[in-house]
């Protein structure tokens, strides 16, 4: 049994501002001749924070607004911070976000614009996590830990509910879901719902070769940490998997695969050219996985969760123009 | 009284595949410091045809599948044709689309890929309309005329339903809706619902200076035709307004404004930079209108309907890079 259950996920859904729910799910036929499989997109970018993370922070902030401390801190690669800032502002919470100073400038700017206090660290997301934990201890405020805190997984899991609900009426039911794998909230959340409501659908987690800690851990069935991060997919770039999240992932993921930076860039380009979507690197991981293993997906119907679109445009243009 | 009524629009809604309904509506705060007003986006691009037109073609095709001839033809700048091809294919109809050979290549390619027969004419949309009418006469098949056929307006009007439904629960209710004005289906449809359900909300139609026929007609209160078209906004580029549609528009639009090509390109760039959205020129008309009259909109809450994202990327890149 994982830490997640369907009743709590359904309860979580009721705490989320509907603006983040029932996101578009549609087939993108223009991608199909290129990828040689049926591709549906679950689009999590058409909302005020341009990523799926608010599904989780809405739950966190709703509970805090009712019962908890009014001040909260999180470490973030940039999207969780924006989402917590948005959800916290809506409920009068005081939000502090700790991020790497190397995070995309646009993510940092949005965190500030949404009224959060932003603290930058001279390191990666793991440094930010340590600093956020220290701040929480020192100030006695609530620490939100992505993927460890159940609310973040339950919020993400509501994507799984929407996928499962779409299955019976789909002209062509999908047989695999591709999810970006970082800390694991999205993968365990979606995986939990899919495995309980549509166990025949394969749940495949995708991570960059340059930040493979959780994928290696999944294959080794024990926590494997890495020394450094080397990927443009800033949103999924951790080095220290959380044991409890790995335990859950072992129960709900059918596979975890690694993809190259080149495939991530190709994935971003294909989503631009054939779907008209600007996406951040993490959101192209699913397409990258198809590119890297066309045989596996040939003729199948695959859903990929397009989980964020917060990119610095200069970098984005370089990536999609890379041949 | 216009030709439209709420009961028929509600009935139309029930004929539309839900994949095209309940599209995202969200505030885009990142645009607001630039535009100096509150901006919400109604996003009509996250669906299989990347534009709003399927709301209308779903109604057309549903009715035909029940009662009518199984063959249908339309003239199209490219989006209606895609949408009719999609809706027709789903119901086993035989679809012919007549388009200008100068239409964006990607739109033409998608019409073909969706299984429609595509006939190209060596002229603009008005030439295509004539040819489609001739084909319908010759073959005895159903001619779908955008904006004239009530189904196309009623389908578009379902966007108005969704906007009106969102008003009571909005944190900040919007006080103006900006809609692209071409043939008039979108403007009269949305206008009809807004004026009957939320009459205090201003309905403002926006057209390019380079294709001003309907706007000039609205101001003159009689049909004014133009000799040529000179705009990148291919989706709204007509020269011969339809009298019955003008009559409706006179009853439901509060204003009709013209914008420059430069403002359209700036609008596209702002939507890319601050909203992460690739849009076609017609979908940037609302933002262009704000740019051209900042005083008018200052401090107000404006909804703009982002009505399509079908662009040739090479042209798109040139447009958004134009300083």
pLDDT digits (tens, 9 = 90+) for A81-112: 999 999 999 999 999 999 999 999 999 999 99
Range A64-78 average pLDDT:
94
Query: With contact defined as beta carbons under 8 Å apart, do A268 and A319 qualify?
Result: yes
Q: State both tokens at A113.
A: 């614009």
Q: Would you state the pLDDT for residue B240?
A: 97
- Residues of B with Cβ-Cβ distance to A282 under 8 angstroms: none
Q: How far is CA B274 from CA A45, A108, A309, B299, in A?
A: 13, 14, 11, 18
Please name the helix (run of DSSP H) or strand (run of DSSP E) that holds residue B154, with its range, or none.
Answer: helix B150-166
Between A169 and B306, residue with greater pLDDT: B306
Q: State both tokens at A8.
A: 């709590």
Inter-chain contact A276–B311, Cβ cutoff 8 Å? yes
The stretches of B175-312 forming alpha helices (DSSP H) are: 185-197, 213-220, 243-252, 261-275, 285-292, 294-297
pLDDT digits (tens, 9 = 90+) for B157-174: 999 999 999 998 877 899
Longest dimension (CA), chain A: 55
Closest Cα in chain B, distance from residue A91 (Å): 13
| Substitution target from B16, B21, B22, B24 for chain A, most A beta carbons within 10 A | B24
In angstroms, the CA A178 to CA A158 distance is 15
Q: Does A68 score more than 90 pLDDT?
A: no
List A121's β-bridge partners, or say none: A100
pLDDT digits (tens, 9 = 90+) for B222-258: 999 999 999 999 999 999 999 999 999 999 999 999 9
- Residues of B with Cβ-Cβ distance to A39 under 8 angstroms: none
pLDDT digits (tens, 9 = 90+) for A145-168: 999 999 999 999 999 999 999 998
Complex prediction ipTM: 0.97
List B73's β-bridge partners, or say none: B96, B143
Residue B30: closest C-alpha in chain A: A110
Q: Would you state the pLDDT for residue B320?
A: 96
Classify domain B54-144 by CATH number: 3.40.50.1100
Query: Nearest CB to B276: which of A26, A27, A50?
Result: A50
Inter-chain contact B46–A26, Cβ cutoff 8 Å? yes
Confidence of residue A171 (pLDDT cuts 50, 70, 90): confident
In angstroms, the CA A75 to CA A129 distance is 5
- What residue segments make up the domains of chain B, in order of their start? 6-52+150-321, 54-144
In angstroms, the CA B14 to CA B60 distance is 12
Q: Which of A215-219, A266-270, B191-195, B318-322 has the lowest mean pLDDT?
A: B318-322
Inter-chain contact B26–A45, Cβ cutoff 8 Å? no
Inter-chain contact A24–B30, Cβ cutoff 8 Å? no
In angstroms, the CA B271 to CA B274 distance is 6
Q: Would you state the pLDDT for residue A313?
A: 96
Closest Cα in chain B, distance from residue A47 (Å): 6
The stretches of chain A forming alpha helices (DSSP H) are: 6-15, 32-35, 54-66, 79-90, 105-113, 125-139, 150-166, 185-197, 213-220, 243-252, 261-275, 285-292, 294-297, 313-321
Q: Topology of domain A6-52+150-321, per CATH?
A: Rossmann fold (3.40.50)
CB pairs under 8 A between A and B: 60
Is A6-52+150-321's fold the same as A54-144's? yes
pLDDT digits (tens, 9 = 90+) for B252-267: 999 999 999 999 999 9
């Amino acid at each position: 049994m994982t830490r997640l259950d369907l009743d709590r996920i359904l309860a979580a859904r009721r705490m989320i501002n509907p603006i983040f729910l029932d996101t578009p799910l549609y087939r993108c036929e223009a991608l199909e001749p290129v990828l040689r499989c049926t591709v549906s997109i679950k689009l999590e970018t058409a909302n005020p924070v341009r990523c799926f993370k608010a599904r989780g922070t809405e739950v966190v902030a709703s509970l805090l607004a009712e019962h908890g401390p009014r001040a909260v801190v999180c470490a973030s690669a940039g999207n969780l911070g924006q989402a917590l800032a948005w959800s916290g502002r809506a409920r009068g919470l005081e939000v502090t976000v700790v991020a790497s100073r190397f995070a995309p400038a646009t993510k940092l700017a949005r965190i500030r614009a949404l009224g959060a206090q932003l603290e930058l660290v001279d390191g990666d997301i793991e440094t930010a996590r340590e600093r956020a934990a220290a701040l929480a201890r020192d100030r006695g405020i609530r620490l939100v830990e992505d993927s460890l805190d159940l609310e973040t997984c339950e919020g993400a899991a509501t994507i799984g509910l929407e996928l499962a609900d779409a299955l019976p009426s789909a002209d062509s039911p999908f047989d695999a879901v591709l999810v970006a794998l970082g800390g694991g909230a999205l993968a365990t959340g979606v995986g939990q719902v899919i495995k309980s409501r549509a166990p025949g659908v394969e749940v495949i987690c995708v991570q960059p070769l340059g930040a493979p800690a959780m994928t290696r851990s999944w294959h080794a069935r024990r926590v494997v940490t890495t020394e450094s991060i080397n990927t443009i997919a800033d949103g999924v770039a951790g080095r220290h998997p959380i044991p409890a999240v790995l335990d859950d992932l072992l129960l709900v993921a059918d596979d975890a695969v690694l993809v190259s930076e080149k495939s991530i860039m190709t994935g971003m380009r294909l989503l631009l050219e054939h779907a008209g979507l600007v996406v951040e690197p993490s959101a192209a991981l699913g397409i990258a996985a198809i590119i890297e293993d066309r045989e596996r997906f040939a003729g199948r119907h695959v859903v990929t969760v397009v989980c964020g679109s917060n990119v610095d445009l200069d970098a984005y243009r370089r990536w999609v123009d890379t041949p």
